[in-house]
Amino acid sequence: MKIVRIIAAVLLALGAFTVYSQNTVTPVEEINMVDAEGLKQGKWERIYPNGKLMYKATFKDDKPVGEMIRYHSNGKMMARIVYDEAGVNGQGELYDENGRKVAEGRYIGNNKEGEWLFYNSKGVLISRENYKDNLKDGESYTYYENGKPALLTTWKDGVQQGPETQWYSSGATRVTTSFTNGKLHGPYTVYFENGNREIYGMYNMDQLDGTWFFFTALGQLDYKLTFENGVPKEQDILELRENERFSEFEKNRGRLKDPEHFKDDPDSYMMDR
């Protein structure tokens, strides 16, 4: 997905400076210079095979300082990061191939840190995520285009941990559940948009466990199923139409995690480019 590709390309660009320096024999107009200790100094640039500028930056003692700009191969700006004088903290903005801003946030070195905001092609905020050492950490929100939250997840060191809530676009609660070490664990409740429960049961490390209750839209108990190791004991009750009903909610649960369909994990996405 494009956002992750942009972030990864920026990180690869930083590493590419080092590789490129090793292939530079003589400086050209004092660009792409290294000192006697092999540290990058001054202005650095690199060009795409089509002749367009790939990136430009200024280095001091091997660290980027001031403005670093990375471009798409069509010449449009891919990323703009402004580093402090120490070359440690940078404020970044990422853009797609049409020049639209798709993300913004802070870097410490090459790692995302703190709050990052992600936007769709219309410029609408679709996600707000928190990072620590380049890993998701804390609360992450995904939004509908109307600005209302679609999903709230919690993370620790890049692993989903703690409560998760999903909402309908109207603002009504759709699903409440929780995760332990990246797996569904504990109560799992699906709601009708009118607020009544539709499904209630327990997960045990990603497997349905114990008795699950299925209700009508009016709040009346429809039927029950007992699960052991994720398998229902009452196969005769689990008719095809009911199985499809439950599967639809599981499918929607996964889809709501990524309603904009182009942002998932901002790091691995860009590596696919």
* Euclidean distance between CA atoms 123 and 133, whole angstroms: 27
- pLDDT digits over 142-179, tens only? 999 999 999 999 999 999 999 999 999 999 999 999 99
pLDDT at residue number 267: 33
* Euclidean distance between CA atoms 35 and 30, whole angstroms: 12
pLDDT at residue number 21: 41
Q: Which of 70-84, 142-156, 199-213, 219-233 is the least confident region?
A: 219-233
pLDDT at residue number 58: 92
Does the structure show a pLDDT above 90 at 137? yes
pLDDT at residue number 232: 80
pLDDT at residue number 228: 87
Does the structure show a pLDDT above 50 at 190? yes
Over range 191-219, report the average pLDDT. Answer: 94
Q: Please check whether residue 143 is in contact with residue 126, taking contact to mean a CB–CB distance below 8 angstroms.
A: yes
Over range 226-230, report the average pLDDT. Answer: 86
CB-based contacts of 158: which residues, under 8 Å, 6+ apart?
Answer: 135, 136, 137
- pLDDT digits over 61-114, tens only? 988 899 999 999 999 999 999 998 888 899 999 999 999 999 999 999 889 999
- pLDDT digits over 3-31, tens only? 556 555 555 554 544 444 444 444 445 89
* Euclidean distance between CA atoms 105 and 78, whole angstroms: 14
Q: Please check whether residue 67 is in contact with residue 55, taking contact to mean a CB–CB distance below 8 angstroms.
A: no
pLDDT at residue number 165: 97
- pLDDT digits over 244-273, tens only? 666 665 565 554 444 333 333 333 322 232
Exposure pattern of 68-106 as b/e (b: 16+ CB <10 Å)? bbbbbeeeebbbbbbbeeebeebebbbbbeeeeebbbbb
